[in-house]
Structure 1
Amino acid sequence: MKNKLTKEWFFKTKWGNVAMISWGDRHRPGVLLVHGYMDSAATFEALVSLLPDTYHYVSFDFPGHGKSDHVLSNLLVPQGLVVEIIKEIVKHLQWRSFVCIAHSMGCAIVTLYQHLYPGRITKMIHIDPLVALTVYYYFNEIHGFWFQWYYEYYYDHYFLYNSAPPRLYTREQLIESTMVTRHLTREQAEIVLSRSLVPVENGLFRVSTQPIMRRMINLPAFKDAFSRILQHNIPPTLCIHATKSEIPKAEREFVDKFFRTDKKRLNVYFDAHHDLHITHASDLVPTILNFLNRKSVEAKL
């Protein structure tokens, strides 16, 4: 990180201010980094610090995440909102094309963006995408559970999501909890929380993430539509999978088959947990650079 110029700013949209961060020379080819569920742009700091200065790296916090404004609505927020924000960011940066690196839920969002606005993304790198995409198993195979998870539970607990006072914690409580639940070191947990901790009173903190974002809705897509979104006209794509991610067998098989049949999608596996772009950043970099430097991807790495 020391050898990369870092810039932070707010990009104004019709939904509110989106917190932006970039590393490197803006005249270099662009790389957009899209974070995952209940996260922020901070999760890419370790990875970017190890990537070459030949690119201009840009990331942002989703609405209701990190330093971005909350959404002024009590309706559940669709992932499509982030797709539109990506569209506006690309326009703001005046990028005609770019590489995209995404983690978890970010992979689903970026795939949808690519489907709606083809040709912009020249290469995609998906870091442990299966966890987030298994929601489509529930939508297709156990639709009642999908509806209960998003809608019934939300409206049954409407007050907690919209009117309850924020929970307060000590900084140490939040760090230790993040370390345990996400298999991180203390230093890694501190980086992950760096854009989300808000000091309040008496040495206590609240987390800036908007509670409603726990129920950000995926695009309701049945199998045929889901298959087309994942496979139609995609750019060369590198999928980096964490073997220690806990995904039930049926859900894994439902999603995994879409990743094994496309010649433009390369699959590599690391013995790591879900946040491997944080915990194993140095291990991922050679694979990522090998992929970015390849002219053809129709072969195994």
Structure 2
Amino acid sequence: MKTKVLKSVLALALLAIVSFGVLAFNKHKETEISKATKEVIHPTLHKNVTINGLNIFYREAGTIDKPTIILLHGYPTSSHMFRNLITDLSVQYHVLAPDYPGFGRSDQPLIKDFDYTFDNMSKIISGFINELNVEKYSLYLMDYGAPVGFRIATKYPNRIESLIIQNGNAYEEGLLDFWKPIKKYWNDYTIENGKPLEKFHSIDGLKWQYTHGVQDISKISPDNWNIDLQHLKRLENNDIQLALFYDYRTNVPLYPEWQQYFKDYQPPTLIVWGKNDYIFPAEGAYPYKRDLKNLETHLLDTGHFALEEKGTEIANYILNFLNKNNIK
């Protein structure tokens, strides 16, 4: 009887020791996971820098010892469009996302004091990159980010580690029906021809840009167009946007130069494109394969602001692509 009792006590003691060991191991494991998580999650910092006398707002995340990705936004938004992607990419990269003058939280100088052209925007962003002492970087180009970024890439081709193109044009095949009223404005620069274009920065026009072509509108936050509208309603901003619509005509003659840059320098390029986009349709994505050899293309079942519905998917494509090309 005593032997049975002793065995039971020993068994319970052994079970207690094992259980304590398991709990201690799990606690240690949880601590290690917490440490690892803290190491890879970086807060987004909201900063300002003066470029050519202008206050330029930008978002930054990640550590500067990692390769840099510069995110260039489109019309009519700002670095706000990258709020989630910045976090997703910062686990492995140093990420910068500036607002152009007249957009987001950057200064909006008066039209009489500043040329709202794509040439000038690219000079401001080049100045931003130089001020932050970034020597090598990948460029994420979306919408207006394409003509801004391609100007920078052709001027500083040896600084570019890769291109990530999301609904950004470099071929005339990509300028289809949406561009007909804008081309009319290019050819006949009058108030009458500019007036219909103002609808794109009305509340209905903004909402359409975010929701047209998406699969599930409930995934698209109304904050997007309401935040954009706050900036667009600033004094003179309507005229600034029309000035940039008109100046977009200067990008088209540069397409051959940008295409020659692709051929000559062959930057590793990832295309992640909302294929249902009416503004920059998929027809603009296909021609890149004519000039680029190291090209990976993903046409996503969504609209113009593809990050709003396919952000996680796009982030994974970017991380995999950059790792595959040893940009890490």
Shift of 1:21: 1.5
SS at structure 2 position matched to 1:259: helix
**Candidates 82, 85, 94, aligned match of 1:56:** 94
* Uncovered stretches (5+) of structure 2, i.e. residues with no partner: 1-37
1:257 to 2:287 alignment: yes
Shift of 1:148: 3.6
For 1:107 and 1:175, locate their aligned partners in 2 and report how far apart those are by CA, in whole Å. 20
Shifted more, 276-285 versus 231-240: the winner is: 231-240
For 1:76 and 1:283, locate their aligned partners in 2 and report how far apart those are by CA, in whole Å. 37
**Candidates 45, 69, 78, aligned match of 2:117:** 78
Letter in 1 for 2:272: I
Shift of 1:160: 11
Letter in 1 for 2:294: K
For 1:223 and 1:58, locate their aligned partners in 2 and report how far apart those are by CA, in whole Å. 26
For 2:43 and 2:94, locate their aligned partners in 1 and report how far apart those are by CA, in whole Å. 10
Q: Between Structure 1 and Structure 2, how many residues are aligned?
A: 276
Residues 34-183 of structure 1: pairs in structure 2 closer than 5 A: 34-74=72-112, 77-130=116-169, 134=172, 148-150=184-186, 152-153=188-189, 155-156=191-192, 180=211, 183=214
For 1:156 and 1:49, locate their aligned partners in 2 and report how far apart those are by CA, in whole Å. 43
For 2:195 and 2:168, locate their aligned partners in 1 and report how far apart those are by CA, in whole Å. 32
Residues 146-225 of structure 1: pairs in structure 2 closer than 5 A: 148-150=184-186, 152-153=188-189, 155-156=191-192, 180=211, 183=214, 184-185=217-218, 188-191=221-224, 193-194=226-227, 197=230, 206=233, 210-211=237-238, 212-216=240-244, 217-218=247-248, 219-221=251-253, 224-225=256-257
For 1:270 and 1:210, locate their aligned partners in 2 and report how far apart those are by CA, in whole Å. 32
For 2:146 and 2:115, locate their aligned partners in 1 and report how far apart those are by CA, in whole Å. 20
Shift of 1:8: 1.7
Cα distance 1:115–1:175, how it changes in 2: closer, same or farther (>3 A)?
A: closer
Letter in 2 for 1:188: S
1:22 to 2:60 alignment: yes
Shift of 1:105: 2.2
For 2:116 and 2:47, locate their aligned partners in 1 and report how far apart those are by CA, in whole Å. 24
Offset from partner CA, 1:173-197 (integer Å, 9 cap, x none): 8996676458554763315644762
For 2:279 and 2:229, locate their aligned partners in 1 and report how far apart those are by CA, in whole Å. 27
Letter in 2 for 1:66: G
Partner of 1:201: none
Residues 235-274 of structure 1: pairs in structure 2 closer than 5 A: 235-246=267-278, 252=283, 256-274=286-304
Shift of 1:84: 0.9
Letter in 1 for 2:59: I
Shift of 1:263: 0.4
Shift of 1:61: 1.0
Quick check: 2:163–2:268 contact (8 Å CA) kept in 1?
yes
Shifted more, 45-54 versus 27-36: the winner is: 45-54
Shift of 1:213: 2.2
Tell me which structure has the larger Cα radius of gyration. 2
For 2:219 and 2:297, locate their aligned partners in 1 and report how far apart those are by CA, in whole Å. 30
Quick check: 1:175–1:190 contact (8 Å CA) kept in 2?
no
For 1:196 and 1:99, locate their aligned partners in 2 and report how far apart those are by CA, in whole Å. 30
For 1:248 and 1:63, locate their aligned partners in 2 and report how far apart those are by CA, in whole Å. 23
Quick check: 1:5–1:23 contact (8 Å CA) kept in 2?
yes
Letter in 2 for 1:257: P
Quick check: 1:127–1:277 contact (8 Å CA) kept in 2?
no
Cα distance 1:69–1:82, how it changes in 2: closer, same or farther (>3 A)?
A: same
Quick check: 1:31–1:58 contact (8 Å CA) kept in 2?
yes
SS at structure 1 position matched to 2:267: coil
**Higher RCO (CA 8 Å, separation ≥ 6 residues):** 1
SS at structure 2 position matched to 1:47: helix
Partner of 2:5: none
Shift of 1:88: 0.8
Letter in 2 for 1:281: G
Letter in 2 for 1:23: A
SS at structure 1 position matched to 2:253: coil
Cα distance 1:262–1:83, how it changes in 2: closer, same or farther (>3 A)?
A: same
SS at structure 1 position matched to 2:164: strand
* Uncovered stretches (5+) of structure 1, i.e. residues with no partner: 162-166, 199-204
Letter in 1 for 2:97: S
Shift of 1:292: 0.6
Letter in 2 for 1:81: N
Question: TM-score, with normalisation over the residues of structure 2?
Answer: 0.69
Partner of 2:324: 294
For the aligned residue pairs, the C-alpha RMSD in angstroms reads: 4.0
Shift of 1:208: 7.8
Between Structure 1 and Structure 2, the one with more helix by share is 2
Cα distance 1:259–1:79, how it changes in 2: closer, same or farther (>3 A)?
A: farther
SS at structure 1 position matched to 2:70: strand
